[in-house]
Structure 1
Amino acid sequence: MNKKRINSCLLSLIGISQFTFCFESFAASKPSYYGSYLFCANDNGLKQDAYWNRKVEWRWSNGTALNSNQNTIGDEYSNFTFVNKSGTWINGFGDESAKTGQHFLLVRKTFENKQEAVNYCQTLENKCKNEFGSTFKHVGVSSWSIPKSAWGTIAVQYKEDKSTKWTACSNWQFSDYKELNYYPKWKVYNAAAIAAGGMIFYPIVNGFTGGAAGLVLGIVPGAMNLNPVAVSVGGTLGLQIGQFIGTTYGIYYGINEIFNIYNETANQINQSQD
């Protein structure tokens, strides 16, 4: 059986479940469970090592309880970003880089172009600066879809040249709204699931195929001599030998595929830019 076709079948089964999960996440309404709260980080002396140690001054973006005009978000964003009593809520789906462990909140909105995506980021950044001062120009998210112990990057999607791309709102690691290119951890899980599925699929299929071939080859001599006993003995022996050879080859093939998938995944992770 064609290897690419087998892997495609395995990937399709996993992909369907992944799509269903993502679709349910993104299809949620305004008060969606999927999302996270906005916080603002001070730019003074901010370096990545300080970020990882959380040695940076940061504050949660204000909520409606303060009754400040600075706490509002434009109506054009109200379907996925809004202010409540707890703070500024952003609908989205949590993700994580397989290379760096950096958490991302994929905002539940696809903008028509990059400038619209940048305008959204700048709205959040201006909200932080208005609330806490001009040095609080970095934005991030935490809690709910992002672990409480982590700081998440806000990633926004936009259309460009008949495709969709991502960029990140300004924070401790990303600036200038460059195209975001990272390898998500869920792809690693998918690759591992395909490899594990192969270790089950290949031995079974090859064992069945080998057994069928051995059975046919085993009964041919007896059938040609019209010897029922030879047909029975040869068929049983051929079936057992064929199954053993086929299963053994399937295990070998599955292990070989694990190494191929591992190497391919490792290369893709190393080529990511985050």
Structure 2
Amino acid sequence: MTHPGTPPGSAGSVTVALLGPLLALDPHRPRVTSYTLAGGRTELSTASLANWAAKVAGLLVDELGLPVGARVVVRTGERWQTAPILLGAWWAGMTVTEYEDPDLDGGPEESVAFLRAGEDSGCDEVFLVSDDPLGEPATGLEAHQRDFTTAVLPQADHFVPRGLPRGDDAPAVLLAGGGSVGVREILERAGAAAERLGVGGRLLSGTPWTLPDGVVDTLLAALAADGSVIQVPAGPEVEADWTARIATGEKAAATTGIDVAGLPRLD
């Protein structure tokens, strides 16, 4: 089966390969829906996701001046902002990671970190992301930290990559210890997960957005399938009836990381 969101050739970018075709299909379709335990709901259409990703790419390239291949530490969990942060970093030709290791190429002095509010990093630039469903600014920042929302909103809604595109073997995700997963492999994994979901499928996910597996099996799989991901909290404190109501209301076709009666679980 050929999925509209997984075209041949990626110009070395996960974002170009997945978002480009979706914008041409229908920019108004929902792609990311995020719920909080307090009942907050945030939804991003294709166009909104692309605009936020462009702002992130512009922040990294135009304001911070990071070079292609620079390391971007992303530890923001399953909140909606994580999607445009990852897609924006890949659009700008960066390599994302959950880890910080000054002995690796592209040490902290050449990298930026996006973190949950209350966390910190040894990177030169540190942005904190609030858990507010409307993206209200993070509070309690240290002197060397910046709020993500405040920094990204002034950036342009469109982004044009600088220089020549990276090859499909360029690293997309940096692993612990220095290994990496390339653009082509990320897209192949996403395409395989999309096959299981089905074209246009809406995936209800309680899977943590780890890099690369959790992100590939949820966010990227949904995009590759011309579908959408509905991310909900998972754990003993979450009532099954609440999750089931969300699944029904959102017309979920399958789940991952969470069980809902009547729906296939893909993981």
Tell whether the structures are fold-level matches, with TM greater than 0.5. no
Q: TM-score, normalised by structure 2?
A: 0.27
Q: TM-score, normalised by structure 1?
A: 0.26
Structure with a larger share of its residues in helix:
1
